[in-house]
Amino acid sequence: MGYPESGFIEVAGFFFNWRSNLSSFHAIVYGRMIDALVSARKAANVTQAELGQRIGQRQTFVSKFELGERRLDPAEFVKVSRAIGADPYAIMKSAESD
């Protein structure tokens, strides 16, 4: 079970903070970027399955990065953002300044 808002996921009965793998600043910014991406997807009324189809992946791929079980590389982040009609650079800028 994941808790994307807090960055914690449960793996084999243990809670893991996926944002703690990076320096605190980078972890916070990355977490904000993913949170904004999830919000943008929901605001666009796009399901995880639809997003997966748009980017040529399965729904589980979307679920895993939204829950913090998998990280997006920069190219994937841009592709996902554009697939939901969001500006990837605006999301990054917003995440950095919050």
Rounded to whole angstroms, the Cα distance separating 26 from 18 reads 12
Q: Where are the domains of the chain?
A: 2-97
Torsion of CA 45, 49, 52, 56, to 10 degrees: -120
% residues pLDDT > 90 (the chain):
60
Any idea how long the chain is? 98
**pTM for the model:** 0.74
- Predicted pLDDT of residue 97: 82
Q: Is domain 2-97 given the CATH code 1.10.260.40 in the classification? A: yes
Highest mean pLDDT of the ranges 10-14, 28-32, 82-86: 82-86
Place of tokens 């703690």: 20
